[in-house]
Amino acid sequence: MPAYDHIYIDGSWKPSHSTSTLTVLDPTTEQPLALVPDGTAQDADDAVGAARAAFPAWSRTPVAERTGYLDAIAAELGRRAGDLAQLITREVGSPLAFSRAVQVPLPINSFLQAARTAGAYGFEQRRGPSLVVREPYGVVAAITPWNYPVHQVAAKVAYALAAGNTVVLKPSELAPLSVWELTDIIDSVGLPPGVFNLVSGTGPTLGEALVTHPGVDVVSFTGSTAAGRRVGSLAADSVKKVMLELGGKSPAVMLPDADPALVVPAVMAAAYLNNGQTCSALTRLIVPRAKLRETEELARAAAPSWTPANPACEHTRLGPLVSAAQRDRVRHHIGNALVSGAKLVTGGAAPPPEPGRGYFVRPTVLSQVTRDMAIHHDEVFGPVLVIESYDSEDEAVRIANDTVYGLAAAVWSADEDRALDVARKLRAGQVQINGARFDPNAPFGGYKQSGNGREGGRTGLEEFLETKAIQT
């Protein structure tokens, strides 16, 4: 694997223009893992220039040849899966079992599915007197977060490349090391120079240089809603296409005929997924008032199975948060909720007794949460589940939709048709019924301030394609 002191531009590893570095910390030990360049606007300019120069040839490359590269990347990801899972666990804190089962398989799937989708796609179609042509935009700036460091890259890069665009990628400075491994894989399959470029640095410096760069045609950003607003505002000056996958405060509605013994552990697992650091996590459990006490007791009983521990251990389900700042932010949310009148069912803001170091937070359940509390509205991004109660189905839907977010939701009912009826009323981009498995190839994205645009599958490919109508 290449040293982390270089960035990847125009098909080779090169030194950054910056002499400054950023320290990547192990969230379990709080010790340094590596240094990466704290990149500059000049790095961004070099990368965009390489991507623009490569675009004409890449956009004309036959689809079968483009998808062949993606298949090769997926195959090499599979060969390196074990080492990559361990690296993600070290830099993010994801439990090793989760890294093996989710963090690595998802990006493999993205490269494979992007190849299959592009291979079967009709880029030119006759519609009446017009020939409708779908063609790539040009240069895509992909700016990705730390919580799913390779998956979030693959969801953008694989589909952008499949569509014929070239890419400049800026990963999060908190967890970039697994992206260096992915870049080494991309380099190893012989992708033409300039088609894919990697730069590193912070959002305010390097990220904003990419968003405002006149040579960038599309910005695809995943991160917080606040950062997404900034990206959208900056990109508006040059009228770039912007795709935003932002925050969430996703509800799980338990209808009166659902079995709490099935619902509670499933929703807790969804809330605590990846240590609670998942934008689509189900973080609000909305239950009939008559079943509130039973729900609380079930949550309290289930909590010990989520004891924080070293994520490198095989049986750990809950590891640390990614940084000290994130840990402190989550603890602040918990404390504020208790001051506002929420009931502590389990967990809390105090540090867990074990492990003795690392950015750990107790798995927390808060009940009797009401719509006037900040914890009802604010994305916490940690292992915190809130329980809210309702008296009628209409009220349950109102509570579920009472947020600026709309990324994901869930409904539980013994009657699937009833659950489907409620699902249609929820303002969210994905809705899960009775614990159905996540489909990584369905369109992924949100309503309202959870963003715009979709990733994955045919819809995800089309986000990276312009439309031209030719009359003949």
* Residues recognised as catalytic: 245, 279
15, 5 Cβ separation under 8 angstroms: yes
CB proximity list for 287: less than 8 A, separation 6 or greater? 254, 260, 295, 387, 388, 389, 390
412, 255 Cβ separation under 8 angstroms: yes
Q: How far apart are CA 302 and CA 86, in angstroms?
A: 27
Q: E strands along 128-249, which residues?
A: 130-136, 139-143, 166-170, 196-198, 218-222, 241-245
DSSP, res 444: B
Token pair of 338, please? 């208790």
- With CA atoms as reference, report the closest residue to 24 among 155, 154, 180, 143: 180
At 463, is the secondary structure helix, strand, or coil?
Answer: coil
Token pair of 161, please? 């490349």
Q: How far apart are CA 97 and CA 55, in angstroms?
A: 39
404 class by beta-carbon count within 10 Å (0-12 exposed, 13-18 middle, 19+ buried) = middle
330, 299 Cβ separation under 8 angstroms: no
253, 357 Cβ separation under 8 angstroms: no
Side-chain-facing half-sphere of 300: CA atoms under 13 Å: 11
104 DSSP β-pair partners: none
Match 């399959």 to its residue by tokens.
189
State phi, psi for 244 to the nearest 5 degrees.
-125, 125
Question: In this structure, is the dihedral angle defined by the CA atoms of residues 207, 158, 174 and 318, taken in order, positive or negative?
Answer: positive
